[in-house]
A and B are shown apart, each in its own frame.
Chain A
Amino acid sequence: GESVGLHLPTLSVQEGDNSIINCAYSNSASDYFIWYKQESGKGPQFIIDIRSNMDKRQGQRVTVLLNKTVKHLSLQIAATQPGDSAVYFCAESPNFGNEKLTFGTGTRLTIIP
């Protein structure tokens, strides 16, 4: 079946540096993508989303890039802080709206003080 996966299961970044988390998806029909942050023992927290008609979207300290040609999604976090340490999941959906999400395997980001 279709799946969403990540290249790197763990990532360690020095505090203050930028981090990039990658995600490969296999469903070319996916129209909507979301990045979530999950801290230990908590539910996923929405970070940023992007629709397939865009290739870049920026938020506060975060940027999501979408490359539909190679079915690749990335999350860039600028000037990382200790509070950014968490597991990051990408998720995809066939449509923007009331559709179920398929989650990737997750990447654990550790910020080194």
Chain B
Amino acid sequence: GAVVSQHPSRVICKSGTSVKIECRSLDFQATTMFWYRQFPKQSLMLMATSNEGSKATYEQGVEKDKFLINHASLTLSTLTVTSAHPEDSSFYICSANYRGETQYFGPGTRLLVL
């Protein structure tokens, strides 16, 4: 139990385009999912908390109009990086809260913006 998937695992896009990343809880329902960003050799930084059926809560310094989050069902949250630029290149990881207790993480999505 507590398996979280992400799609795609890797994506390369041109500067100015938008990229959508999906996060799914495969064998459980998650009312809350989280989105993190991780730069090389650094720790995970929380970007936003995604709540099913309501607006996401963004951390300070994270642009909500640039990082659009949609949590339309209890098993799916999406993160869309709009008008991506090279500085948005990073490893994006989601997590889902299992049974309202512990967070389990997806495998991550490597984004490279050219």
Interface residues of A (CB under 8 A from B): 34, 36, 41-46, 49, 89, 96-98, 100-106
Contacts of A41 in B (CB 8 A): 108, 110
- Assess the B102–A100 pair: CB atoms within 8 A: no
Residues of B in contact, count (CB < 8 Å): 25
Kindly report which residue of chain B lies nearest to residue A43, judged by CB atoms: B105
- Assess the B44–A89 pair: CB atoms within 8 A: yes
- Count A-B contacts at CB 8 Å: 50
9 intermolecular pairs with C-beta atoms under 8 Å apart: A34-B102, A43-B95, A43-B108, A89-B43, A96-B101, A97-B100, A100-B46, A105-B43, A106-B43
Kindly report which residue of chain B lies nearest to residue A44, judged by CB atoms: B105
Interface residues of B (CB under 8 A from A): 2, 4, 6, 31-32, 34, 42-46, 49, 93, 95, 97, 100-108, 110
Kindly report which residue of chain A lies nearest to residue B46, judged by CB atoms: A100
Kindly report which residue of chain A lies nearest to residue B49, judged by CB atoms: A100
